[in-house]
Amino acid sequence: MKERVLGGKAAGMPVLIGLIALYILAIAGFIAGASTGSFILLAASVLWFAFGWILFLGLKVLKPQEALVLTLFGKYAGTLKGDGFYFVNPFCTAVNPAAKTQLSQSGDVKTSVNLLTGTVNGTQAVETSGSKKISLKVMTLNNNRQKINDVLGNPVEIGIAVTWHVVDTAKAVFNVDNYKEYLSLMCDTALRDIVRLYPYDVAPNIDTTGDGVADDGSLRGSSVIVAERIREEIQKHVDEAGIEILAAKITYLAYAPEIAAVMLQRQQASAIIDARKMIVDGAVGMVEMALDRLQEKNTVELDDERKAAMVSNLLVVLCGNHDAQPVVNSGTLY
């Protein structure tokens, strides 16, 4: 199904004025027919009073960034686009299967509360009253956090915000049952498909691009690349629904609560090891520099045993967690 935009000018106001004028004429004709006994005037006036209101059903008002998909006796008649006051065939029916559907996780609707579970902004769609008009505005779908296993099997909680809008109203109405619910489901599945390809943090021997070569891709370090792949994956699925995905951004990323404490300890241990390694490397360099300076200036003659003692003392001072306590040695090493 391809969108067909109805042409022509917004002629709603002249038609409205004409219909009102015809009602005034019908009233005048009814009075004249009753006074003169003219059956034709009476019949014409009564018929207009009985059926003239049908033409008012063809008057349609559209605001900016709104569209109306029309069908005539079950067939697609076309789409009205652009703000204005229109007149169409009064027997045309506006169609929008998602008119009464609000995605509770979408940022363009009010927050919904589930009275049974007491949850706010759940993943289910909430049925509310709505018009048959289709919004062409840019909207945001703020997906709830999902628990997904990364490529290493670690459970990760992740949430995304998807910016989207309808570009083909005919596809959105006729190709899928409910384009809002369809979009929400495709966002969930695409998120799971992509997150499973990446580790939370950089891990060795992991190929995240599919080229057969290990790389440094990760959810935490490559969030922009991951978000773009999620957007492309969603777009592939929603093309048939006439929806364009403008952007997808990761709004929340963390280990699942059941392993968060263990992973935190692991990160702390890794940080401590890296810090200690840096401290030891610096201390060894300082000891080497001190020995070289003493030897260059012939400040003191040190044999191997004295050098070993000096190195030990310097390493203890430089690598210790606390300030060194000086000890005055009044004797000798021998």
Tokens 């990160």 -> residue = 267
Please check whether residues 169 and 270 belong to one and the same domain: no
b or e along 263-273 (b: 16 or more beta carbons within 10 Å of the residue's beta carbon)? eeeeeeeeeee
79 and 158 co-located in one domain: no
Q: Is the pLDDT of residue 108 over 70?
A: no
CA quadruple 246, 251, 253, 257: dihedral sign: negative
- Whether 152 is in a domain gets the answer yes
330 falls within a domain: no
Range of the domain at 213: 101-255
Tally: H helices and E strands in the chain? 7, 12
Distance CA 95, CA 241 (A): 15
Residues 231, 109 share a domain: yes
Quote the pLDDT of residue 321: 64
Question: In which band, very low, low, confident or very high, does the pLDDT at 107 lie, cut at 50, 70 and 90?
Answer: very low
Does 182 fall in a domain?
A: yes
Q: Which of 44, 62, 94 is the last residue of a domain?
A: 94
Q: pLDDT tens for residues 232-271? A: 999 999 999 999 999 999 888 888 777 666 667 666 666 7
Domain limit, last residue, from 73, 94, 115? 94
- Asked, for residue 111, whether it belongs to a domain, the answer is yes
Q: Which of 255, 273, 288 is the last residue of a domain?
A: 255
Question: CATH number, domain at 238?
Answer: 3.30.479.30
Both 38 and 182 in one domain: the answer is: no
Chain mean pLDDT for the chain: 79
Beta strands in 25-171, from DSSP E residues, in sequence order? 59-62, 66-72, 75-81, 84-87, 92-94, 101-103, 125-127, 134-135, 139-142, 146-149, 155-166
Measure the CA–CA gap between 270 and 167, rounded to whole angstroms.
Answer: 49
Task: Please give the single-letter amino acid code of residue 257.
Answer: P
* Strand locations in 200-305 (E): 243-255
- 75 lies in the same domain as 124: no
Question: Do residues 154 and 82 share a domain?
Answer: no
| Position 109 pLDDT exceeds 60 | no
Work out whether the CA dihedral 95, 97, 102, 103 comes out positive or negative. Answer: negative
Residues recorded for the chain: 334
Question: 120 and 251 in one domain?
Answer: yes
Q: Which residues contact 137 (CB under 8 A, 6 or more apart)?
A: 65, 108, 165
Q: Is residue 3 domain-resident?
A: no
Report whether 172 contacts 166 (CB < 8 A).
Answer: yes
251 and 266 both lie in a single domain: no
Decide if pLDDT at 310 tops 50. yes
Average pLDDT over residues 31-40: 82
Residues 145 and 33 in one domain: no
Strand-strand pairing, 101-103 and 125-127: antiparallel
Examine residue 70 and state whether it is found in any structural domain, yes or no. Answer: yes
pLDDT at position 38: 81
2 found inside a domain: no
Give per-residue pLDDT as tens, 189-218. Answer: 999 999 888 888 877 777 777 777 777 788
Asked whether residue 294 falls in the same domain as residue 244, the answer is no
Contact 250, 177 (CB under 8 A): no
Q: What is the mean pLDDT of residues 226-236?
A: 92
**How much is the pTM?**
0.69
Do 128 and 242 sit in the same domain of this protein? Answer: yes
In the chain, the largest separation of any two C-alpha atoms, in whole Å, equals 145
pLDDT tier at 295, thresholds 50, 70, 90: confident
245 and 270 housed in the same domain: no
Classify residue 6: in a domain, yes or no.
Answer: no
Whole-number Å distance between alpha carbons of 182 and 201: 31
The count of structural domains within the chain is 3
pLDDT of residue 153: 84
Q: How far is CA 77 from the centre of its chain?
A: 33
